[in-house]
């Protein structure tokens, strides 16, 4: 076995979260840091989701780092290639890329209580390696592991088949008969693109979503110049969008009736674009708006109403070598199959890879009570582990970048306090974690995600919402504004900690 490489901080993933952590820790002078990234580039979900039509449904001005404003967004809702290019540029300009290790996967991370370090096994192009890290910051993402549908016979299909998050650009779907399974946020973006090029599209819908109009527009050169040159303008614009979005929170978390105008708007959008009453009926949601993610598109309903698209609502019973069979016995032949069936959200793969102080994996710990964490970030039994986009940090209404920056601020403060107080470890206590989560789950009872009459990826198999944040995002920011050491059990540094060579020294 190779000698472990000592490192102060090991970050998993280089999406928005991993990148923000690397940049901000670097600014704090925490230079002994490595970012392990399984892909060949930065970007996370924005690197992976390259399906046609992929774009953000949160306004670009807010869906970007507060510390790296971009006056050059072309549209009010950015397309995926622009977000990916933005992240590449931010990483390059921050000068942190020399600490990124690409094409390398974290296999396991195990807490070694004697050494008070995380032993992190990775596999990269040169084979396996081990890091001995003081802290691990996971930015592995909540929507990173594609979820494939468990449908009888899917493995026997002879044509091309791929998940929306693993789009196979080598397959030309022009003129082909294509089936799409799923009608979530990804599907509604890719279906209009497929409809334009495919010969025929069968769209398999299990649950009809609410789809609002997408108020998207191109920024003029004048607007871009103003955002670039007028002091404070872009910040003001971002702030206005932020507060506009926060006004949605009560409709999700307190009283769904407040969302009645949004519901009317979505049904009006459907009525405007779909004239056939039978099709319209099939596309009409049967649950409260907000229970599932509210989608936005101007192109989806017109695409579904097109001649070359069939909306199939009969349940799928099996997939054959050449088509899909529904419960009524109909088989529809296809050349290619796109599964837009979402992600593993409440059973995140990284939880199986991380083993804490007591010898239990995160997944085993979560099995007790569902995914949980203190302030979405730290977990009892897992010293010096910080999760970004952890349990109950997801949003249905605003930008995850705001949440990520709040968590990064909390983690920076933790690391600062560890340095100042010469602490080797910080581990959140059980009681504050249990209290925090009891409060969240109590609050969940009245949210539309619980009362709205739908099944969604927000809920785990016990019906607990372990994914979303049920308050305003400014509440989250306030809660994480300072690392509250009193909620943690700590141990002091030993002489050995002080003499550990830096990673650079170990490499030299
Ligand atoms: O996945 P989803 P997604 N047979 O889980 C259906 C983010 N995102 O990739 O509703 C048949 O929402 C399932 O049906 P049902 C965003 O947070 C953001 O679309 O469960 N159907 C559903 O229709 C989003 O919420 C952007 O009944 C099956 C669909 O597949 C999250 O990613 C863009 C099935 C899955 O929808 C996930 O979105 C895209 C089966 N066996 C995504 N299994 C932005 O713009 C599942 N389905 C920022």
| Residue 506 in this model has a pLDDT that exceeds 60 | no
Residue pLDDT, tens place only, 277-315: 999 999 999 999 999 999 999 999 999 999 999 999 999
Residue pLDDT, tens place only, 189-200: 999 999 999 999
- In the reported structure, the alpha carbon of residue 299 is separated from the centroid of ligand 1 by a whole-number distance in angstroms of 17
DSSP line for 175-203? T-EEEEE--SHHHHHHHHHHHHHSSEEEE
Distance CA 335, CA 260 (A): 42
Residue nearest to ligand 1 atom 10, measured at CA: 207
Residue pLDDT, tens place only, 86-129: 999 999 999 999 999 999 999 999 999 999 999 999 999 999 99
Residue pLDDT, tens place only, 1-13: 579 999 999 999 9
Report the 10 Å Cβ neighbour count for 242: 18
Q: Confirm or reject: Cβ of 206 under 6 Å from ligand 1.
A: yes
Q: How many helices (H) and strands (E) does the chain have?
A: 18, 20
Name 108's bridge partners. Answer: 121
DSSP structural state of residue 251: H
**Atom from ligand 1 closest to the CA of residue 57:** 45
**Atom from ligand 1 closest to the CA of residue 164:** 9
* Mean pLDDT of all residues in 81-87: 98
- In the reported structure, the alpha carbon of residue 62 is separated from the centroid of ligand 1 by a whole-number distance in angstroms of 23
Distance CA 49, CA 338 (A): 13
**Atom from ligand 1 closest to the CA of residue 49:** 39
Residue pLDDT, tens place only, 219-263: 999 999 999 999 999 999 999 999 999 999 999 999 999 999 999
What is the percent of the chain where pLDDT is above 70?
97
DSSP line for 448-499? HHHHSS---TTB-TTS-B-SB--S-HHHHHHHTSS--GGGEEEEE--HHHHH
Residue nearest to ligand 1 atom 35, measured at CA: 341
- In the reported structure, the alpha carbon of residue 261 is separated from the centroid of ligand 1 by a whole-number distance in angstroms of 24
Residue pLDDT, tens place only, 130-145: 999 999 999 998 899 9
| Residue 498 in this model has a pLDDT that exceeds 80 | no
- In the reported structure, the alpha carbon of residue 217 is separated from the centroid of ligand 1 by a whole-number distance in angstroms of 25
What pTM was computed for the model?
Answer: 0.96
Contact of 246 with 469, CB cutoff 8 Å? no
pLDDT of residue 1: 57
Residue nearest to ligand 1 atom 12, measured at CA: 184
Residue pLDDT, tens place only, 62-80: 999 999 999 999 999 999 9
Mutate to test the pocket of ligand 1, among 185, 295, 344 (most ligand atoms within 8 A of CB): 185
- In the reported structure, the alpha carbon of residue 503 is separated from the centroid of ligand 1 by a whole-number distance in angstroms of 41
pLDDT of residue 494: 74
- In the reported structure, the alpha carbon of residue 448 is separated from the centroid of ligand 1 by a whole-number distance in angstroms of 18
Confidence of residue 269 (pLDDT cuts 50, 70, 90): very high
- H or E element, residue 282: helix 277-282
Listed in sequence order, the residues at least 6 apart from 287 whose beta carbon sits closer than 8 Å to its beta carbon are 207, 452, 453, 454
């Amino acid at each position: 076995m190779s000698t472990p490489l000592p490192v102060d901080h090991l970050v998993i993933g280089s999406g928005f979260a991993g990148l923000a952590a690397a940049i901000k820790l670097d600014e704090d002078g925490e230079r002994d840091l490595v970012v392990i990234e399984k892909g060949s580039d930065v970007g996370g979900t924005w690197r992976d989701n390259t399906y046609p039509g992929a774009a953000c449904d949160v306004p670009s001005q807010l869906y970007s780092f507060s510390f790296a404003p971009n006056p050059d967004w072309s549209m009010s809702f950015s397309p995926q290639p622009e977000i990916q290019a933005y992240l590449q540029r931010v990483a390059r300009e921050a000068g942190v890329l020399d600490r990124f290790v690409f094409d390398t996967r974290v296999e396991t991370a195990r807490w070694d209580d004697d050494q008070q370090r995380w032993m992190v096994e990775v596999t990269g192009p040169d084979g396996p390696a081990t890091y001995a890290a003081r802290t691990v910051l996971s930015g592995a993402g909540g929507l990173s592991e594609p979820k494939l549908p468990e449908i009888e016979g899917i493995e026997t299909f002879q044509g091309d088949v791929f998940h929306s998050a693993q789009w196979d650009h080598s397959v030309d779907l022009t003129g082909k008969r294509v089936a799409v399974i799923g009608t979530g946020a990804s599907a509604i973006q890719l279906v209009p693109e497929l409809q334009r090029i495919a010969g025929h599209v069968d769209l398999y819908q299990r649950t009809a979503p609410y789809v609002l109009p997408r108020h998207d527009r191109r920024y003029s050169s004048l607007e871009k110049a103003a955002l670039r040159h007028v002091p404070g303008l872009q910040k003001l614009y971002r702030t206005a969008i932020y507060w506009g979005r926060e006004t949605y929170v009560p409709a999700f978390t307190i009283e769904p009736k407040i969302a009645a105008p949004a519901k009317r708007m979505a049904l009006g959008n459907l009525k405007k674009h779909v004239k056939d009453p039978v099709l319209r009926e099939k596309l009409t949601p049967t649950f409260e708006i907000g229970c599932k993610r509210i989608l936005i598109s101007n192109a989806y309903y017109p695409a579904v109403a097109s001649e070359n698209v069939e909306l199939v609502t009969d349940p799928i019973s099996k997939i054959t070598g050449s088509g899909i069979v529904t419960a009524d016995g109909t088989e529809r032949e296809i050349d290619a199959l796109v599964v837009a069936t979402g992600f593993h959200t409440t059973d995140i793969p990284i939880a199986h890879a991380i083993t804490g102080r007591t010898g239990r994996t995160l997944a085993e710990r979560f099995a007790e009570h569902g995914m949980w964490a203190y302030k979405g970030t730290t977990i009892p039994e897992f010293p010096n582990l910080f999760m970004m986009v952890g349990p109950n940090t997801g949003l249905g209404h605003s930008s995850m970048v705001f949440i990520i920056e709040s968590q990064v601020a909390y983690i920076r403060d933790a690391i600062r306090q560890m340095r100042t107080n010469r602490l080797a470890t910080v581990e959140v206590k059980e009681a504050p974690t249990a209290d925090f989560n009891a409060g969240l789950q109590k609050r969940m009872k009245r949210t539309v995600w619980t009362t709205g009459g739908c099944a969604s990826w927000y809920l785990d198999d016990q019906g607990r919402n372990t994914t979303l944040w049920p308050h305003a995002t400014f509440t989250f920011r306030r809660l994480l504004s300072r690392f509250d050491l009193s909620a943690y059990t700590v141990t002091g540094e030993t002489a050995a900690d002080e003499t550990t060579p830096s990673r650079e020294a170990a490499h030299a």
